[in-house]
A = this chain, B = another copy of it.
Amino acid sequence: MLIVKKFGGTSVADAERIRHVAGIIADDYSEGHDLVVVLSAQGDTTDDLIAKAAELNENPSRREMDVLLATGEQASVALMAMALEKLGLPVVSLSGRQAGIRTNTDYGSARIEKVDGERIRGELDRRRIVIVAGFQGINRNDDTTTLGRGGSDTTAVALAAALHADVCQFYKDVEGVYTSDPRKIPGARKLDEITYDEMMELASLGAQVLHNRSVQMAKRYGVELEVCSSFERKPGTIVKEVIDMEKTKISGVAKDTNTARIAVMGLADEPGIAFRVFRVLSNAKIVVDIILQSIGRDGTKDISFTVARSDGAAAVKVLSAQQSALGFSELDVSETVAKVSIVGAGMMSASGVATTMFEALYDAKVNINMISTSEIKISVLVNEEDADRAVSAIHRKFFED
């Protein structure tokens, strides 16, 4: 099998952990697999580099920031290669450029345009373990770029796609993807399988096991993913296109507190008003999540929506600036809300999932502020103080009863 493995910054934070990861790699190599290993920078390296830069320039160019940050992953891969050499294994470390990661020129948040897998294939043909610096690539100017948030995950999936790897494994400090946060919900259990879509909904809900960008790419190229434990050698959770839908109606329950609700009240009940409100927000690059529009009454209506909590103040500011143009009477913002969601590809073919969820919330005496549904997700906005109780109640109803 050709396996791409990805380890995050915590997994390579110090010599002891690097040795531990080297042990995992050595085991898999001894089983005859071809291995490509993608690494992040060690522990706090990236933050330390950012702090160093800030001492000199609070607003450096993204190009130079990328040159600086790319050194973090560069060091990781060399150190891991040395640890594997110590075990007597044939190994070679490669930068993003050497691994063929070609990106566009958006420094700091570059997109991968192409992967030229020739060098890696050559190294694998020589039976070498290939260690690749994640998060980085090279653009058409021959300059180093970094891929932004979730960059190393994206590197791993892109390589797995280009090399037609059998699986792309992400090593985490959990055993896989759970039906809910195992630290909070004692009954949470590990899922054997989950679909790409479910995985993305869970990630956007704050489960953050894998960054959506990498799951999206995996879905597009049909790369099978596995989320597995850095500590225990046992199967994790497989992420793929289609799983046995009969098995579970829903895959997980998640809470997202990174949300704020904004209500724009007393808008004229006329065509185009929603468009004008959301244009103001999109011009300010604010991403809107759940949207609720009240039914018109007395010639006016209200529009409520949620945004990332960090965007709450900015949303209020840009809307207030346009109050007379938009013609609303009042703006209300609440930052003490949370989004609780159930996700499941199975719910498409199952009836009563929403009913069961609402019943659980009723039983737990949780008031619902807003509701949003998609084909594989039902989200409710609740008061933040009720969120954990809501998650427990829903999880119990679907998984523990």
The answer to whether B86 touches A57, judged by C-beta atoms less than 8 angstroms apart, is yes
Q: Per-residue CB proximity of A27-62 to B under 8 Å, as 1/0?
A: 000000000000000000000010011011100110
The answer to whether A98 touches B57, judged by C-beta atoms less than 8 angstroms apart, is no
Q: Which segment, of A74-82, A206-214, A266-274, faces chain B?
A: A74-82
Known: A98-B143, A142-B98. A53 touches B67 (CB 8 A): no
Our pick among B77, B79, B142 for the contact of A53 (Cβ within 8 Å) is: B79
Q: Per-residue CB proximity of A1-44 to B under 8 Å, as 1/0?
A: 00000000000000100110000000000000000000000000
Complex contacts, A57 vs chain B, CB 8 Å: 82-83, 85-86
Complex contacts, A83 vs chain B, CB 8 Å: 56-57
Question: Is A64 an interface residue, CB under 8 A from the partner?
Answer: yes
Q: Which residue of B lies closest to A98 (CB)?
A: B142
Q: Per-residue CB proximity of A62-103 to B under 8 Å, as 1/0?
A: 011101101100110111011101100000110100100000
Interface size, chain A (Cβ < 8 Å):
36
Complex formed: what's the CA distance from A71 to B68 in Å? 9
Which residues of A line the B interface, CB within 8 A?
A: 15, 18-19, 49, 52-53, 55-57, 60-61, 63-65, 67-68, 70-71, 74-75, 77-79, 81-83, 85-86, 92-93, 95, 98, 119, 142-144
A-B pairs with beta carbons under 8 Å apart, 21 shown: A15-B52, A15-B56, A18-B56, A19-B56, A52-B79, A53-B78, A56-B79, A56-B86, A57-B85, A57-B86, A60-B86, A61-B82, A65-B82, A67-B77, A67-B78, A68-B79, A70-B74, A71-B74, A71-B75, A95-B144, A98-B142
